[in-house]
Amino acid sequence: MSIEKMELVNIAGLTKDLDKVLVKLSDCGCFHIESASKVAGKKSGFTVLKEDNPYTPLLKQISEISAQSGRKFRSDDFSDIAGESLSSLGEYILNVRKKLDDFKTAEKLADEKLSVHEQALYQVDHLKGMTVDFQQIFSCENIKVRLGRLPVDSYAKLEYYDDKPFYFAHFSEEKEYYWGMYFVPASCSDDVDEIFDSLYFERTHIPDFVKGDSSEASAELHKMVDEDKKLIEDSQKQYNDYLDKEADRLGKIFSRLKSSHDNFDLRNKAAIVNDKFYIVGFIPKNETDKFMALFDDMESVSLVLQPADSNGKLEPPIKLKNNKFSQPFSMFVEMYGLPSYNGINPTAFVAVTYTLLFGIMFGDLGQGIVLAIAGALLWKFKKFALGPILTRVGISGAVFGLLYGSVFGYEELLDPLYEALGITFLPFKVMKNVTTILIGAIVLGVLIMFISILINIVTGIKNKKFEEALFGNNGIAGLVFFGSILVGAVAELFGIHLMNAVYVIILIIMPLVAMFMREPLSYWVKGKKYHIEGGVGDFIASNFFEVFEFLLGYATNTLSFIRIGGFVLSHASMMLVVMALSEQVSAAASPIVVILGNAFVMGIEGLLVGIQTLRLEFYEIFSRFYSGDGKPFEPVKINYDENIE
């Protein structure tokens, strides 16, 4: 897998054609624009356009209609309104907004009336049984009447005020309140009101429009509420019907305004001098002919193509090229960071190692198949980005489950199959080979680390980064040192004594010295003189601690891969627990325990294995050969999904 080769494009022409050129650039879908001022420089006489976008105000109004109505406008063909003036479009939008606002105002007023009427109905319904006209009660001059509700606890305390001139009549009761009214002579109302306030009486005010007794008032209010609801529905229907009628034209206007708005914003990427403009950017090399053909009808516009890295002021953008298998894993690479233009695309390496490591740790034939199917369904129906990855790692888990002989936790299910085939070395029983699993995890980790170091050496030499490729801890010196330590240690285990003076000096001490002196040596390889900055003492101290850190890194990175074996054993152990639980319950409940246990293990173990595998990729593998400091290839286009706030 590689990185898409780019071409640096220089576009020049007359300022009057700038907008036409920008439209072509956004329509082609393959032009990554850069700020021309980076290349032109301040002393060249070029200036950058700083203009207010004339399409923003109208676009904001369209966006407000979209936000208010909940309707999303998308890309639409606007060729039939391309010739209309902005003033004409603005007048139309203004009229539409006014009409919609009128419907919303009518709905709001009806909603406010509904709220008042419902509140009054709520109060009146709690006073059912009162046969006196409300207006007659409120018109009394010598007697004051207060309507409301009194807490149940407070109602019991009314007997303490028998000597006071009031009468409380209740008409209904709830769990915590008595609804009713109290009567009091006008001359004593202030004192009695204070008493009821102290008893937490909540007074309600019946509106003036309420007529008749409680039954008559309730019937009339029900009628008012129904009328209010009908008015709200009518206003909403008129609003939606009108919007449906104008939606097609509004969508076209939105598309035209958004296209013009986004293209106009690109003008600040151009450099202007006199009556000429200058634009610079990148296109994929395989799009060159198609791109050049776009300007065949514009003789005043000239295009000059150069190698992508020919201008040191511009960093070529990155577009990864991946095959069908590795493509889904590009999201992990992008998450970490894209490679530099002259770097290496690690997606294929990630795809292979991630799939392999996940399968080893998640080995179960049945669970792997379920995971693969789930991933396929998530991608097919939800376009979930992790779906294709789940499919791949699920198949890998199924393959290793076949080797382990594990099917939904049943470790003996495949034994007859292997016996019938005459295969004696399978299935590989995980819990009976703990030591082998852990040693194998370290061996696999060392192998992956070696491959990572080799990749770093190749890319470093290719890009003439000799300090890293030859003398760094992930270069030839580090590879020789690390490999010699491992070979010597393994040889000692088998009784072969390689660690003699010559072996140690040449293959261990000399690589350490090379790593310590990596900066001066890299200058020497390039034929340049090296000057120690900060003095010899600082040089020795800083390089000593860096080399010491390198040594710790070799040890910790190697041991980190033990987690592979740990998760293999963890997965098997969790399924043993599930099987043990299923055996301790009744025959009817056993299948349920197995199903729920498998679902739990798949969820927890799948999540943990996925995270830990990604951690190994980022910290133990990428750290050896990959920097991720590239910038993405982002061709200019009209973003119809983005509204202007």
Q: Where are the domains of the chain?
A: 2-49+271-317, 132-212, 327-625
pLDDT for 230-279, tens place per residue? 999 999 999 999 999 999 999 999 999 999 999 999 999 999 888 899 99
Residue labelled with tokens 């340049």 = 528
Are the beta carbons of 262 and 53 closer than 8 angstroms? no
Residue 400 near residue 572, CB atoms below 8 Å? no
Cα–Cα distance between 26 and 259 in angstroms, integer? 9
Q: How confident is the model at residue 328 (pLDDT cuts 50, 70, 90)?
A: very high
Q: Quote the DSSP letter at residue 407.
A: B
- CATH architecture of the domain 132-212 equals 2-Layer Sandwich (3.30)
Q: Which pLDDT score, from 0 to 100, does residue 74 have?
A: 83
Among residues 7, 9, 43, the alpha carbon closest in space to that of 279 is found at: 9
pLDDT tens column, 500-526: 888 888 888 898 888 888 888 887 877
pLDDT at 598 over 90: yes
pLDDT category at 51 given cuts 50, 70, 90 is: confident
pLDDT digit string, tens, across residues 65-117:
888 888 888 888 888 888 889 999 999 999 999 999 999 999 999 888 888 78
How far, in Å, are 182, 263, 315, 588 from residue 267 at the CA level?
76, 7, 21, 73
Taking the C-alpha atoms of residue 516 and residue 521, their distance in angstroms, rounded to an integer, is 10
Mean pLDDT lowest among 264-273, 460-469, 559-568: 460-469
- b/e code 343-375 from CB counts within 10 Å (16+ = b): bbbbbbbbbebbbbbbbbbbbbbbbbbbbbebb
Confidence bin at 22 (pLDDT 50/70/90): very high
| Residue 456 reports pLDDT greater than 80 | yes
**Is residue 218 within a helix (H) or strand (E), and if so which, with residue range?**
helix 214-265
Residue 532 has pLDDT above 80, yes or no: no
The pLDDT value given to residue 322 = 92
pLDDT of residue 190: 87
pLDDT of residue 347: 94
The pLDDT of residue 44 is: 63
Residues 4 and 285: beta-carbon distance below 8 Å? yes
Per-residue DSSP letter, 235: H
pLDDT averaged over every residue in the chain? 87
Given a cut of 70, whether residue 131 has pLDDT beyond it is no
Q: Residue 643: its pLDDT value, please?
A: 66
Q: What is the mean pLDDT of residues 588-609?
A: 92
Number of H helices, E strands in the chain: 24, 12
Query: Which pLDDT score, from 0 to 100, does residue 243 have?
Result: 92
Please tell me the distance from the alpha carbon of residue 456 to that of residue 468, in angstroms, as a whole number: 8
pLDDT above 90 covers what percent of the chain? 44
User: What is the band of 462 on the pLDDT scale with cuts at 50, 70, 90?
Assistant: confident
- Provide the 3-class DSSP secondary structure of residue 494: coil
Give the separation between CA 408 and CA 599, rounded to whole angstroms. 10
Among the listed ranges 313-317, 481-485, 527-531, which one has the minimum average pLDDT value?
527-531
What angle is formed at CA 118 by the lines to CA 211 and CA 110, rounded to 5 degrees?
Answer: 100
Categorize the per-residue pLDDT at 133 as very low, low, confident or very high, splitting at 50, 70 and 90.
Answer: low
Determine the pLDDT at residue 135: 67
Predicted confidence at residue 34, as pLDDT, reads 93
pLDDT at 212 over 80: no
Let me know: does 440 contact 403? Beta carbons within 8 Å: no
**What integer is the mean pLDDT of 459-467?**
83
CA–CA distance, 305 with 283 (Å, rounded to integer): 10
In angstroms, the CA 524 to CA 467 distance is 10
Mean local confidence (pLDDT), 376-388: 93
> How would you write 288-355 as a 3-class SS string?
HHHHHHCCCCCCCCEEEEEECCCCCCCCCCECEECCCCCHHHHHHHHHHCECCCCCCCCHHHHHHHHH
pLDDT higher at 294 or 135: 294
- CATH topology for 2-49+271-317 is Alpha-Beta Plaits (3.30.70)
What is residue 444's predicted lDDT score, i.e. its pLDDT?
A: 93
Over 70: is that where the pLDDT of 351 sits? yes
